[in-house]
Amino acid sequence: MKSFIFKDTQCSFVELPPATHGKTILEFFQNNSDYFKLCEGREPNQACLDDFFNDAPDNFVSKKKSWGCFADHQLKAVIDYIEDYPETKTVFGGLLLIDQAWRGQGFGRRIMQIFRETLMQQGFEKMRIAVLEQNTNALKVWERAGFKEVSPRKKKIFGNLESVVVIMDLSL
């Protein structure tokens, strides 16, 4: 667990075991359904929760991790990722989702800073993310954070939508 202060509020960044936090996370997804409508063309449901905890290529399910950030005992952000994928010492970031009321105030940047420090301490050297082309705000946020597009864009189905995927890397 890592604790930090954001805007006078004590925040805790903790690993989330699925068995204990599934309901909380699904409610969090439902309260922040804009992402799922934009990127997956669906309301958040059990399948989104399963993806958050388990979606990983064959042989990498055990490398999947899910973290949450609580402030005043309420979930304000989640992030999932796969360790050592697609190669050793690289982390493949999944969904970073911030509570709508907490966006645009530097909270995402702070979480990424803590996440990055944690990964570096663990010996990871690179972070890779996949951003969907229609998620123009996120593309700007990641570019601002120093991520660079690294390979040709490809189409892939997420939820009910076929989207163009932008792969971006950041050296840690």
* Chain positions contacting ligand COA, by CB under 6 A: 35, 95-98, 103-109, 131, 135, 137-138, 140-141, 144
Between 63 and 103, name the residue whose CB sits nearer to ligand COA.
103
Between 48 and 96, name the residue whose CB sits nearer to ligand COA.
96
Could you give the 3-state DSSP secondary structure of residue 20?
helix
In sequence order, which residues have a C-beta less than 8 Å from that of residue 127 and are 6 or more positions away? Answer: 90, 91, 92, 93, 116, 119, 147, 169, 170, 172
Please state the closest distance from residue 32 (CB atom) to ligand COA, in A: 7
* Neighbour count for residue 127 (Cβ, 10 Å): 23
Between 108 and 159, name the residue whose CB sits nearer to ligand COA.
108
Between 88 and 106, name the residue whose CB sits nearer to ligand COA.
106
Q: Closest residue (Cβ) to ligand COA?
A: 108
Query: Does residue 146 come out as left (phi exceeding 0), alpha (psi in the -120 to 50 range) or beta?
Result: left
Please state the closest distance from residue 125 (CB atom) to ligand COA, in A: 21
